[in-house]
Structure 1
Amino acid sequence: MRVGPSTIYATKWIYMKPGLPMEIIDEYGHWRQVRDYTGVTGWMHSALLSGTRMAVVAPWLTKNAMLRANPEPTGTPVAQLQPRVLLSLHSCTGAWCRVSAREHSARGYVRQDKLWGAYPGEMFQ
C-alpha cells in the first residue's frame, strides 16, 4: 500500500497475508484507493487486488460470532468464529452471508452484521 497512486510514492504498509478484504474507495488509472478493516487507507495497484469477495469476523466484537448450518438464529451451530477470522464470502442475503473459512473445512452462515467485508443490507450471489 502506498501513500499515493504511483510507485513514486512512499510505501505506507506491506500486507503479508494474502486475501485480506479491502474496500475500494477511489480509483485513479490502474490504482485503487483502499481501506482495510482497521481503517488504514492508501493506494494499491489493481494488479495486487482480486475480485474474490472476502470478509473478516468483525474486529469490534467482544464475543465470538456463530457460524450456523442454516441462515437463521436457531440454525445448528457449526463453529464459533473469533473476531478477525478471515472468511471467503460466497453470497449474502442482506441479513446472512454464506461463508467458508479458508484454512479449515468449516462452512455455513454468519449474520451479516458480524462481518467486515459486506455492506449492511448488501445482497449478492
Structure 2
Amino acid sequence: MKRPLLSAIALASLVICAPARADEDDKVPYWATIDTDLANLRVGPGDSYRIDWVYRRLHLPVKVVRREGPWRLIEDPDGTQGWMRDLLLSRQRGGIVKGKELVAMRVKPDDSAPIAWRIEPGVVGVMPEDCKQSWCLFDVNGHKGFVHETQLWGTGAP
C-alpha cells in the first residue's frame, strides 16, 4: 500500500513543479530576435490592433518587456515599443552594431588580435554564446569574429 501512495505523491510533485520551471524561462525582461523576414508590430496585444511598424530585418535584436498570452511587448534598438506575436520571435541572442564608425571584428577576444572584418553601424548578427570578459562572438551571415560588448546593442542584462 505504501509504495503506490509514495509513487502517486512523487508524480504529483513533479506535475506541480514542472510549471514553475517553465515560468522561469518566461520571466521578463529578456532578449530575443525577430525570427522572420517580415514581422508586424502592433499598438496592442491582438490581431485587431492597428499595425504600427513592419520589420523586415531577420535576427534584429529586441527586448521583451512584457507578456500577455501569445503576445509580447517588445522594445527595438531605437526604443520603439509595441506588441508582436511570440511566434515571430526567437530566444536566439542577437546584436546590432552601435555608434557611427566602423567596428573591428577580431579573430580572438583581444584588442591586439588581428582584425577579421570591419562592420558598419546597424549591422545585425547573432551571438551563438554568452559574451565573456566583455567580448562577444558575433556571427554576421557566417562571418564570425569577436566584438567588444560595448559596441553592440542586445548584450548584458536586458
TM-score normalised to the size of structure 1?
0.87
AA in 2 matched with 1:79? W
Q: Which residue of the partner structure matches residue 36 of structure 1?
A: 76
* Structure 2 Cα separation of the partners of residues 112 and 98 of structure 1: 9
Q: Which residue of the partner structure matches residue 121 of structure 2?
A: 83
Q: How many residues align?
A: 117
For the residue of structure 1 that corresponds to 2:87, the secondary structure is: helix
AA in 2 matched with 1:112? E
Structure 2 portions without partners, runs of 5+: 1-40
The question of 1:116 aligning with 2:153 is answered yes
Q: Which residue of the partner structure matches residue 96 of structure 1?
A: 135
TM-score normalised to the size of structure 2?
0.70
* Structure 1 Cα separation of the partners of residues 85 and 136 of structure 2: 28
AA in 2 matched with 1:26? R
Larger Rg: 2
For the residue of structure 2 that corresponds to 1:38, the secondary structure is: coil
Show the 5 A alignment for 1:20-31: 20-31=60-71
More helix by proportion, 1 or 2?
A: 2
AA in 1 matched with 2:152? L
* Structure 2 Cα separation of the partners of residues 114 and 77 of structure 1: 15
Confirm or deny: 8 A CA contact 2:92 2:128 kept in the other structure.
no
* Structure 2 Cα separation of the partners of residues 97 and 64 of structure 1: 16
AA in 2 matched with 1:68? R
1:53 to 83, 93, 96: 93
* Structure 2 Cα separation of the partners of residues 74 and 47 of structure 1: 41
| Cα displacement string for residues 35-77 of structure 1 (whole angstroms, at most 9, x for unaligned residues) | 111111100010111112111111xx12111100110111111
Q: CA deviation at 1:93?
A: 1.1
AA in 1 matched with 2:155? A
Structure 1 portions without partners, runs of 5+: none
Q: Percent identity?
A: 29
AA in 2 matched with 1:22? V
* Structure 2 Cα separation of the partners of residues 5 and 112 of structure 1: 32
RMSD, matched Cα: 1.5
**Any runs of at least 4 consecutive aligned residues in structure 1 with deviations exceeding 4 A, and if so which?**
none
* Structure 1 Cα separation of the partners of residues 139 and 90 of structure 2: 17
